[in-house]
């Protein structure tokens, strides 16, 4: 399929989400016309406010079904689909796009669909250290959750839902692509950090990764020796959003599953970056064990050569991610 360039029309589902809202921003900044779906008019109010500089022809948010919202759009971006319910919704959405027999919209306008998955759909039980790539699937988590049900635990169930949703997406597309006017791209990021722009009425509405950064720099229980040595892979939310923008524009992205991972670090690296910010945004950032991350041998890493070859992203480094995050937390009064 051809690339989808601005000022093409883009539908972003769940546009008020922590990642999706940054996708909306990147697309608007690039000159796309954006239509976002939200679950209620009240959720759309925040997006209308923060994107008020864009005229009504450039952006529109509404609650409603995908079959109506997709009318006349060139690109569909679906973010963070994982639960069983949302997986069914995804299948319904794909079905509408492929079948093309609706009387009130023309699916032939859609050229590409970009779905946000996760590296938890990629990583799996293995002998460490290991470098995963796009050919890997976390089938163990899916099977374990199927056998154990809720007894598998919340995080394994989360992993299972991600791999099942992405696999179902690809399987459905491969089965129906002969009748589809569009191709498919999936983006698999790791932990997503960085400053939030989704609506936050309190600190409780930060996402899990943002909460972890806040706990770390505020010296909360995460900051123990074991916590400081905990390894993780990560990307800034702005990098992940850029991946969606560039995936729309690159013809060769069509039909690809792409891991987007900036790096691997430990929580001590976050503390080191936070303590390097000048002037300090607030006091009492713990010191920990400075430089500890320089001697770490990582168990899990990802081969990002496909991302580099196709998308060529300019990744936001850890130091900038931490500095921008804590400046935002300080402005909100979250870490005094």
Closest CA to 230 of 264, 192, 195: 264
Q: Can you give the pLDDT at residue 87?
A: 55
pLDDT tens for 243-297 read 999 999 999 999 999 999 999 999 999 999 999 998 888 777 889 899 999 999 9
Closest CA to 281 of 210, 334, 330: 330
User: 57-98 pLDDT, tens per residue?
Assistant: 566 666 556 667 788 899 999 876 554 445 555 666 666 566
**CA distance linking residue 208 with residue 175, whole number of Å:** 35
| CATH for 194-235+262-336 (3.20.20, 3.90.25, 3.40.50, 3.30.160) | 3.90.25
CA atoms within 13 A on the CB side of 28: 24
Nearest-5° Cα angle at 205, 202 to 211: 105
Instruction: List the chain domain ranges.
Output: 194-235+262-336
Strand pairing class (263-266; 231-236): antiparallel
User: Residues for the chain: how many in total?
Assistant: 336
Residue 206 confidence (pLDDT) above 80:
yes
Task: Report pLDDT for 57.
Answer: 56
**Predicted local distance difference test score (pLDDT) of residue 142:** 85
Single out the residue of 23, 167, 174 nearest to residue 82, CA to CA.
Answer: 167
Helix (DSSP H) and strand (DSSP E) numbers for the chain = 12, 12
pLDDT digits (tens, 9 = 90+) for 127-137: 999 999 999 99
Q: What local confidence, expressed as pLDDT, does residue 63 receive? A: 58
Considering the entire predicted model, what is its pTM? 0.92
Distance of CA 178 to the CA centre of its chain: 29
Instruction: Outline where DSSP puts E strands in the chain.
Output: 9-13, 33-38, 59-63, 75-78, 112-116, 130-132, 183-188, 191-193, 231-236, 257-259, 263-266, 300-302
Q: How far is 73 from 327, CA to CA, in rounded Å? A: 37
């Amino acid at each position: 399929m051809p690339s989808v360039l601005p000022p093409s029309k883009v539908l972003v589902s769940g546009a008020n989400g922590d990642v999706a809202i940054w996708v909306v921003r990147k697309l608007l900044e690039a000159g796309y016309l954006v239509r976002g779906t939200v679950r209620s008019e009240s959720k759309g109010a925040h997006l209308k406010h923060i994107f008020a500089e864009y005229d009504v022809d450039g952006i529109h948010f509404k609650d409603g079904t995908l079959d109506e919202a997709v009318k006349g759009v060139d690109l569909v971006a679906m973010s963070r689909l994982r639960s069983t319910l949302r997986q069914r919704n995804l299948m319904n959405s794909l079905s509408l796009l492929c079948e093309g027999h609706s009387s009130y919209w023309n699916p032939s306008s859609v050229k590409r669909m970009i779905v946000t998955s996760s590296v938890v759909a990629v990583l799996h039980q293995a002998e460490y250290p290991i470098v995963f790539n796009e050919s890997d699937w976390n089938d163990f988590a899916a099977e374990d959750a199927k056998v154990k049900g809720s007894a598998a635990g919340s995080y394994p169930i989360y992993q299972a839902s991600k791999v099942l949703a992405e696999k179902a997406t690809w399987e459905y597309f491969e089965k129906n692509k002969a009748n589809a006017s569009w191709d498919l791209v999936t983006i698999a990021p790791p932990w997503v950090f960085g400053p939030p722009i989704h609506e936050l009425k309190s600190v409780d509405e930060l996402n899990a990764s943002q909460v972890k950064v806040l706990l770390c720099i505020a010296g909360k229980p995460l900051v123990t020796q074991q916590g400081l040595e905990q390894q993780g892979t990560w990307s800034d939310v702005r990098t992940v959003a850029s991946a969606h923008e560039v995936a729309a524009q690159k013809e060769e992205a069509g039909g690809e599953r792409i891991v987007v991972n900036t790096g691997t670090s430990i929580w001590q690296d976050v503390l080191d970056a936070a303590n390097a910010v000048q002037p300090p945004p607030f006091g009492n950032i713990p010191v920990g064990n400075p430089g500890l991350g320089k001697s770490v041998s990582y168990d899990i890493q990802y081969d990002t050569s496909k991302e580099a070859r196709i998308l060529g992203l300019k990744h936001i480094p850890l130091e900038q991610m931490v500095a921008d995050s804590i400046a935002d937390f300080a402005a909100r009064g979250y870490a005094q």
